[in-house]
Structure 1
Amino acid sequence: MKLNDYFHTHFDNSDILEESFAERPLTLSLDLQKELYQIQPDSDELNMEYFDKVYQKSLTLFEDLFHENDRLYLIVRVRKELHSPPAKSTEIFERYLKNNKNRYALEFEKKEVRDEEEVIYQYARLLPSRKSLRYKKLLQAICNQDFPELYPRFKSRQTYYPEIYFVNPGKDIILYIFDDRGCFILLNKKETLHRLKETYKSDQSDGFPVEEP
């Protein structure tokens, strides 16, 4: 099944990634670290204890949502100004997939953003399992994107950093870790939402109350 067909069938909206997750009823917003800060107190130095905890939390969350043999979509979206040169978004697949020989397995779509002078280049690939992905490094790169001193991180060739989405089509879960601060999890089953709310009760974002549908 193509990605847009999957979104249309399981989330009633083939453009689900265009919407604000905060406006969806079955959404959970989590902080990756609440107790520490990126910078050490009374210093300009990065607080590596903070980043170590962020890396571990993102890894724990990912492995909870994507079990060893679950299929998953890896989606990469790059925003550009409308009349700028095309974006090359395939480097994420080249760097973080363990076997990327079949380039034709990528689904590509170009989307113009409504009411804005932007265009989104979207690439997606369905992977047989998380074992196909160097996901520990990829999660670290997502969390490191605003900190040039840290590695791994994305190359800043584009106007914006890439947006990375992970989708579990067997469990109808969309995970979007936006940076070191936190993530959104979009679901379509109340039972899954209840389980995750209980599991990650202490990590829920204070400024984002989740309302039941």
Structure 2
Amino acid sequence: MKIIDYLKEKFPSLELVPSIYYQWDIGIHFSLGGDIYQFKENDELNLERFQLVYTQASTIFDELFDQDDDLFLVANMYKHKTNEKCIRKLKVYHPFIKCKSNLNRIQVKTYPYPFEGDGAVEYEMQQFSLLCKPGDLRVNKLLKAACNEDFPLKPRFGGYSISYPDVFFVNITKDIIFFVYDDRGCEVIALDAEQIHPLYENHRDWVEEGDKKPI
């Protein structure tokens, strides 16, 4: 199975890029980190916040994914079409996959650059995908790397030339998609509201008041 075929069947109107919550009727947007600011008064990073963010992201993942579930680990890399000197080796899969033989099963497809802006025609998006199970991945490190996008913390993803990679966990057993966009928050969408209703009930205090009404 390919990710493009799965999405066409289950989420036909969805483009797998940031802001999936706003593209789909059934979903939850969680704000992470509570009221703790990213920096202390002395301008040092506030690691207390990041530890909370990591815990929240891991908690959500664990409530959405069982070890026997099948999932696509999808990575969007945004790059120059022609300036190869700006492109570094993608580091979303190799550091975070337990069995390196799975790397041979990664699929890739190139799409137009999905965002508007000056010079957008000069860029493109390469979408990588791997069908696997949660147990095949170092999930906690993957989640930390997604949360660390804007800060000099490790682990980090590599391979970006114009923007940090976006990584999606697509649960094809439960028809749920989970996306951590950075330390500020994450998005969950589902085909069936009952699949994510318990998650909302358990963690509704992580949802901003403005997002509760549509939910």
TM-score w.r.t. length of structure 2: 0.87
Q: Find 2:202's aligned residue among 191, 199, 202.
A: 199
What is the CA distance between 1:10 and its match in structure 2? 1.2
Question: What CA distance in whole angstroms lies between the structure 2 residues aligned with 1:205 and 1:89?
Answer: 37
Q: Find 1:138's aligned residue among 136, 142, 147.
A: 142
Confirm or deny that 1:180 pairs with 2:179.
no
Evaluate the alpha carbon distance shift between residue 87 and residue 105 of structure 1 in structure 2; reply closer, same or farther with a 3 A threshold: farther
The 8 Å contact of residues 38 and 46 in structure 1, kept in 2 or not, is answered as yes
Q: Give the corresponding residue for 1:110.
A: 110
Give the share of equivalent positions with the same residue, in percent: 31
Secondary structure at the counterpart of residue 33 of structure 1: coil
Question: What CA distance in whole angstroms lies between the structure 1 residues aligned with 2:67 and 2:205?
Answer: 25
What is the CA distance between 1:7 and its match in structure 2? 0.8
The 8 Å contact of residues 109 and 121 in structure 1, kept in 2 or not, is answered as yes
Question: What CA distance in whole angstroms lies between the structure 2 residues aligned with 1:71 and 1:113?
Answer: 28
Name the amino acid aligned to 2:143: L
Aligned alpha-carbon RMSD (Å): 2.2
Name the amino acid aligned to 2:62: E
Question: What CA distance in whole angstroms lies between the structure 2 residues aligned with 1:53 and 1:35?
Answer: 11
Evaluate the alpha carbon distance shift between residue 156 and residue 170 of structure 1 in structure 2; reply closer, same or farther with a 3 A threshold: closer
Q: Give the corresponding residue for 1:122.
A: 127
Question: What CA distance in whole angstroms lies between the structure 2 residues aligned with 1:205 and 1:48?
Answer: 23
The 8 Å contact of residues 111 and 120 in structure 1, kept in 2 or not, is answered as yes
TM-score w.r.t. length of structure 1: 0.88
Q: Give the corresponding residue for 1:96.
A: 96
Q: Which runs of 5+ in 2 are unaligned?
A: none
The 8 Å contact of residues 98 and 133 in structure 1, kept in 2 or not, is answered as yes
Evaluate the alpha carbon distance shift between residue 19 and residue 92 of structure 1 in structure 2; reply closer, same or farther with a 3 A threshold: closer
Q: Give the corresponding residue for 1:168.
A: 171
Which stretch has the larger CA shift, 81-90 or 170-179?
A: 81-90
* Count of matched residue positions in the alignment of Structure 1 and Structure 2: 208
Question: What CA distance in whole angstroms lies between the structure 1 residues aligned with 2:168 and 2:190?
Answer: 13
Q: Which runs of 5+ in 1 are unaligned?
A: none
Which stretch has the larger CA shift, 100-109 or 87-96?
A: 87-96
Name the amino acid aligned to 1:182: G
